[in-house]
Amino acid sequence: MTQVFAYIIHKDGVADDTALELIAAAKKIQADAQVTAIVTGSGSDLDAVCTEVAASYNEVLKIDNENLAYPNAEIIRALLLKMLPSDAILLVPHTTFGMDLAPGLSIKLDAAFVADVVEFEGLDGSTLKLVRQEYSGQVSTHVSCDISSGGVINIRPGAFAPDESKAASGTVVDKSSEAQGITVKRSYLETVVAEVGDVDITKSDVLVSVGRGIEDEDNIEIAHDLAEVLGADVSCSRPIVDSKWLEKSRQVGTSGQTVKPKVYIACGISGSFQHLGGIKGSPFMVAINKNSKAPIFQVADVGIVADILEFIPEFADKVKEMK
């Protein structure tokens, strides 16, 4: 049986949401896969993360070293090269860090590498079939790869429903000695947390989110009006920030904020993976778009084919009436 490993991202003693998504992804490769979590870091926070992760993984390899205090892909790559068996499959979240780590690691391991995977379609011997998306989610690519000498697979955050079963009660094994003697050329100095703008959309329960379909800066007012009657905040896709129509702190997506609202109303947003990657926890999603084939309708709970410039003011009036 292929050994599956997952690299766990964590912060302040808490595992990232992707920890439960990677275990779900591993079980899609093989339902009875024995999955080992790799948790690297430094200090007392690490034990809390390992205990949390052990509830879901069969085994947790803890590597505690002061050089691992920051997620420095260079040292983690060197570490994984020492630790991974030659035919292992390693799952890594498809984030900036994941793209820093994984391609170089796969070359050094002589293993297959596939980025931004959203689905697995089966393992037959040493052939792993999977699906990734291209062109901002407009095209699904079915990939068959030879994993006889291992595989490094980047998993898109949010693509796999988190496995909340916590059925594993795995053992934590201290492998910190593996990090001894690894030298690095790249050192991290500090992490600078981005400033929160006038509104912290990461805390909003309801978001009215506008995309390029809003067409003009002046039209954003209708989204503010709807947000006001709904008790919501206004967020947006990246082109709106690029146009300087709203501030960066309101951008949802992989290069913006990650939000966890209860209700997300996407207005004139096509549904690129970079945008959807910033929406966590499967909120109730309403998508309003004039193109019935827009990819956002594939993930929305309610899809409304309409011109937002007409629909949003009517919707706001209706809510006011009902109130």
Ligand X SMILES: Cc1cc2nc3c(=O)[nH]c(=O)nc-3n(C[C@H](O)[C@H](O)[C@H](O)COP(=O)(O)OP(=O)(O)OC[C@H]3O[C@@H](n4cnc5c(N)ncnc54)[C@H](O)[C@@H]3O)c2cc1C
User: What is the binding site for ligand X (CB under 6 A)?
Assistant: 136, 211-213, 215, 237-239, 251-256, 268-270, 272, 274-275, 278, 289-291, 294, 307-309
Query: In angstroms, what is the minimal distance from the CB of 171 to ligand X?
Result: 38
Q: How far is the CB of 197 from ligand X (least distance, A)?
A: 15
Judged by CB, which is closer to ligand X: 96, or 144?
Answer: 96
Looking at the Cβ atoms of 301 and 307, the one nearer to ligand X is: 307
Q: For residues 92 and 152, what is the distance between their CA atoms, to the nearest angstrom?
A: 8
Minimal distance in Å, beta carbon 99 to ligand X?
Answer: 10
| C-alpha closest to that of 289 among 265, 262, 261, 273 | 265
Name the minimum Å distance from CB 91 to ligand X: 21
Between strands 127-134 and 112-124, the pairing is antiparallel
Least gap, CB of 304 to ligand X (angstroms): 9
The H-or-E segment that residue 147 falls in is none
| Residue number with CB closer to ligand X (18 or 289) | 289
Cβ proximity to ligand X, 170 vs 303, nearer residue: 303
Cβ-based nearer residue to ligand X, 164 or 215: 215
Given the complex with ligand X, which of 53 and 241 has the nearer CB atom? Answer: 241
Cβ-based burial of 17 (10 A; exposed 0-12, middle 13-18, buried ≥19): middle
E-strand stretches of the chain: 4-7, 10-11, 14-15, 35-41, 59-64, 89-93, 112-124, 127-134, 139-146, 151-155, 171-174, 206-210, 233-236, 263-267, 284-289, 302-305
Name the token pair of 178: 């593996």
Which residue's beta carbon is nearest to the bound ligand X?
253
* Alpha carbon distance 68, 26 (integer Å): 25
Can you tell me the distance from the alpha carbon of 225 to that of 236, in angstroms, rounded to the nearest whole number? 15
- Of residues 171 and 255, the one with the C-beta less far from ligand X: 255
Residue 313 burial (CB count, 10 A): 15
Q: Considering only CA atoms, give the Rg of the chain.
A: 21
Q: How far is the CB of 186 from ligand X (least distance, A)?
A: 21
Amino acid at 285: M
Find the shortest distance in angstroms from Cβ 309 to ligand X: 5
